[in-house]
Amino acid sequence: MGFNTTMRVRLGLLTILLLVFVGCSAPPKRTATAPAAPAPTTALEPAPQGVQQVAFLDVGQGDSALITFPNGKTMLIDGGETSEGVALVGKLRRLGVQQIDWLVATHPHSDHIGGLIQVLKTFPVAEVWDIGMPFESPVYRDFLLAVRSARSPNGARPKFRVVRRGLTLEPAPNVRVSVLAPSEPLLKGTRSDPNNNSIVLRIDAAGGSFLFTGDLEREGRVRLYTTRPNLRADVLKVAHHGAENGTDRAFLNRVNPTVAVIPVGAGNRYGHPHRETLALLQGRHVYRTDLHGDIVMRLGADKKLQIATTRAAPTQPTAQTKPAPIVGMVIGNRNSKVYHRPDCRSLPKPENQARFRSAQEAERAGYRPHTCVLGE
């Protein structure tokens, strides 16, 4: 059962035709699974036939995960920064990818969509999912242009979907993908509207379930609770790279994961993952891309979760400390909620500028640092 809705959404200068299908079948029953401990190290390789595989890919300070369904169809969730695009394509090829059936941009920040630009230029992509939120960013503009120039397996343009809560998909028998957020209307005026309107996905398969949270923060979690979704999952992709505003005890109690995965870059300037988040995750199996590299999880015929990594992590990883604050006035972009140094080449137009006496004042107002502030 399904329905088609045609609409036009204007994003900057681009107008893209949207086609949305919603499925209605019942989700598979959640089954408790136990990961192998300790996880063995391995190289990236294609998923065996009939196996549900989720590969959390090390793309530095960013997110990317490839889901290979038992029938061979694929879903790529996020892709790290633009600088990670070539490496990401190489990893996808090692995983046996020939086409992407569903490419999901959880929200328009560069550390989630940048690498997807190279993916769109390299592989046939059948369908692109996006939150459809106007966002002023050169990387997001390039992403949308790449979508417009990409080709699907049949040679046409990929379908472009603005997704909302309630969308469901059955990519393979006994597998269900459910979109839990965002909801209409999109949140506005939060600390980070793109983060809080992230696509939240739950994947149910025979033997286990996975919850993907984008960069969801407190306001987004509060909004999520009002819809009373089923958040229980065996594996949690920890929100916002382990930032303290991405996870709290109430959320963990609702999800109750056995395994938590933190996509995070080694020595990053944000101090991720924050020690507050690591303290909350104590007692669970925690994997980090900065320590474990690529993290591959499989659910086979025995319905047991198997985990392997491309690096062996230290036995007792320590939390990073938060970076030292910068000194002096900064200039914020009222649209993107990003703040810059006064000499930055990417300053917004004068009418979109908000001036702050310090980076701390900008962050209290809900702004986040641009790469010129971080020295990248």
Q: What is the mean pLDDT of the chain?
A: 86
Of 244, 248, 261, which is closest to residue 222 (Cα–Cα)? 248
Highest averaged pLDDT of the listed ranges 10-14, 113-117, 297-301: 113-117
306-363 pLDDT, tens digit each: 999 999 877 554 444 444 455 678 898 988 888 888 877 778 888 889 999 888 888 8
Of 238, 248, 193, 249, which is closest to residue 211 (Cα–Cα)? 238
Q: Whole-angstrom Cα distance, residue 7 to residue 91?
A: 35
- pLDDT of amino acid 18: 31
- Measured in degrees and rounded to the nearest 5, phi and psi for residue 323 equal -65, 155
Q: What is the largest CA-CA distance in the chain?
A: 60
Question: 106 pLDDT band (50/70/90 cuts)?
Answer: very high
Q: Whole-angstrom Cα distance, residue 30 to residue 190?
A: 34
Q: Whole-angstrom Cα distance, residue 120 to residue 188?
A: 29
Q: What's the one-letter identity of residue 101? A: D
Q: Whole-angstrom Cα distance, residue 323 to residue 272?
A: 10
- pLDDT of amino acid 30: 47
- Residue 115 scores a pLDDT above 80: yes
- Measured in degrees and rounded to the nearest 5, phi and psi for residue 354 equal -130, 125
**What percentage of the chain carries pLDDT values higher than 70?**
85
Q: How far is CA 369 from CA 38, 192, 331, 353, in A?
A: 37, 12, 10, 14
- State the pTM of this model: 0.77
- pLDDT of amino acid 92: 98
Structural domains of the chain sorted by starting position, each given as residue range(s) with its CATH number in brackets: 28-309 (3.60.15.10), 330-374 (no CATH)
Q: Whole-angstrom Cα distance, residue 243 to residue 272?
A: 6
4-54 pLDDT, tens digit each: 333 333 333 333 333 332 333 334 444 445 554 567 878 899 999 999 999
176-193 pLDDT, tens digit each: 999 999 999 999 999 999
Of the two residues 256 and 300, the one the predictor is more confident about is 256
Q: Which residue has the tokens 């980090």?
A: 288
- pLDDT of amino acid 46: 94
- Residue 82 scores a pLDDT above 90: yes
- Residue 124 scores a pLDDT above 70: yes
Q: What's the one-letter identity of residue 292? A: H
- Residue 175 scores a pLDDT above 70: yes
Element (H, E) at 330: strand 330-333
Of 72, 131, 140, 83, which is closest to residue 104 (Cα–Cα)? 131
The neighbour count for residue 282, using CB atoms within 10 Å, is 7
| Cα three-residue angle 199-17-105, rounded to 5 degrees | 25
Question: 59 pLDDT band (50/70/90 cuts)?
Answer: very high
Q: Whole-angstrom Cα distance, residue 224 to residue 212?
A: 13
Q: Whole-angstrom Cα distance, residue 86 to residue 74?
A: 19
- pLDDT of amino acid 41: 79
Contact 194, 186 (CB under 8 A): no
Mean pLDDT of 261-267: 96
Element (H, E) at 193: helix 193-196
Of the two residues 314 and 167, the one the predictor is more confident about is 167
